[in-house]
A and B are shown apart, each in its own frame.
Chain A
Amino acid sequence: MKPASFDYFKPTTLEEAAVLLSKYGEDAKILAGGQTLVPMMNFRLVTPQMLVDINDVEGLNFIEQRDDAVRLGALVRWCEIETSPVIAKIHPLLSEAVKSIAHYQIRNRGTWAGSCAHADPAAEFPAVALISNAKFSLFSTRGRRLVSAADFFLGPLTTALDADEILVDVEIPCHGCNCFWAFEEFALRTGDFAIAGVAVMIDHDNREDPVRFVAFGIGDKACRLPTAELVIAKLGLTDKTIHEAAAGIGNDFEVRADIHASAEYRLALTKVLLERSMNRVLASGYHR
């Protein structure tokens, strides 16, 4: 189908974009990569009165390495993350996760910020943001505020973004020197949405929160797996603890059933992916 009519604005500064959003609120949508928004418009699932195209907005397209974090501007596209030597070095989990996102042509255009603002429960980037304790920066005419990944994603297609706010950048803490990680997802075909996915990070330099497991595609949003984390934090990661850790995750989230998979299948799959991830961590030379 063809999208319904809309007005189109192409601001060149963030302030100009924010003024448009504050004026039109819910009637306006931000257009960045458009790889989710435009299909929804073509199906008329959404019919915004106005698109604010931010592709020409200055200062949103950067990958910046800081001492212990990497910052991404809202216009960074998947293909740029995928091929960035900086990210491959300081956040290899993100590099790996991006390979599972959609297809080559979509990755050439789609942005991480668009994916996060859309907040599909099966999206990969929100899971990586959650496991890394990333911080999102939101901008509006009222000012700028920082929201952690744990507080940003509220539910399916629902985020902490107000109608007049723009997601402008994300700061993702880098892997430490002793950080071990793995990423696994299962989809019916390459590039399809994940039926279930798991990310694992074990970083003993992080004393407060060394064992972090996240599942996505299984419920309303990406979520931590505290039961499994606790088993590994207490007993350590060994051949013997892996199965016990994965066995208890059923209490950590509400499993979603849909046309692609029943709740039972999804839960079983998530356990398998979690065990597989922990085995990969062990195989990658894990030590305390």
Chain B
Amino acid sequence: MSVHRIISTINGKAVEREVEARLTLADFLRHELRLTGTHLGCEHGVCGACTVIVEQKAVRSCLLFAVQVDGKDVNTVEALSTGDDLSPLQRAFQKHHALQCGFCTPGILNTAHAFLKDNPEPMADRVRDVISGNICRCTGYVRIINAILDAAPSYRKIT
């Protein structure tokens, strides 16, 4: 068993901690940093609930070890908005009733956020494909896809 000192940028803030090698990023965020917005479902990369953004890419935090994000930039659902304001993506989810129990929602928001930053003019089929890695058992996906498509214009840069 090895223990490692890591320094990462989590939601814009530098965080320094000692971590056991086997600690997953998901458990690090939830148990060590108390960032419980990241939900942990299947723990083997199938359900997508634990999706966070590492170096601008949506990834499963249950399939990364905390030691692997040493020196890296990590964003969780807590960083999507500041204060009481919702981000345009979050507002779209509210408007379209794109969540019920909310367990899968942080993972879907992070997936959609990272995706829309790279693809601000997506076709519905592409959104469907991207979101296929996130399991929602309440709403069905129609409202989720509508919300993501509705939020897309807010990601387009004004040139």
* Chain A bound to chain B: yes
Give chain A's interface residues, CB within 8 Å of chain B: 1-8, 10, 31, 34-35, 38-39, 42-43, 51, 53, 55, 79, 102-106, 108-109, 189-191
Contact of A109 among B63, B67, B129 (CB under 8 A): B63
Contact of A108 among B27, B59, B62 (CB under 8 A): B59
Interface residue SS majority, chain A: loop
Residues of B within 8 A of A31 (CB): 68
Total interface residues in chain B, CB < 8 Å: 30
A48 CB to nearest chain B CB (Å):
11
Residues of B within 8 A of A106 (CB): 45, 60, 133
Q: What is the chain B residue whose CB lies nearest that of A49?
A: B1
Contact of A8 among B4, B24, B130 (CB under 8 A): B4
Q: Interface code B1-43, partner A: CB below 8 Å = 1, 0 otherwise?
A: 1101000000000000000111010010000000000000001
Interface status of B64 (Cβ within 8 A of chain A): yes
Residues of A within 8 A of B129 (CB): 104, 190
* Contact A53-B68, Cβ < 8 Å, known A7-B2, A104-B115, A106-B45: yes
A255 CB to nearest chain B CB (Å):
26
Give chain B's interface residues, CB within 8 Å of chain A: 1-2, 4, 20-22, 24, 27, 43-45, 48, 51, 57-60, 62-65, 67-68, 111, 115, 129-133
Residues of A within 8 A of B2 (CB): 6-8
The reply to whether B63 and A55 contact each other, CB–CB distance below 8 Å, is: no
The reply to whether A105 and B48 contact each other, CB–CB distance below 8 Å, is: yes
The reply to whether B57 and A109 contact each other, CB–CB distance below 8 Å, is: yes
A22 CB to nearest chain B CB (Å):
20
Cα–Cα distance between A51 and B20 once the two chains are bound (Å)? 13
Q: What is the chain B residue whose CB lies nearest that of A83?
A: B118
A-B contact pairs, 27 of them (CB 8 A): A1-B43, A2-B43, A3-B22, A6-B1, A6-B21, A6-B22, A7-B21, A8-B2, A8-B4, A8-B67, A31-B68, A34-B63, A34-B68, A38-B64, A39-B43, A53-B68, A55-B68, A103-B48, A104-B115, A104-B131, A104-B133, A105-B59, A105-B60, A105-B111, A105-B133, A106-B133, A189-B132
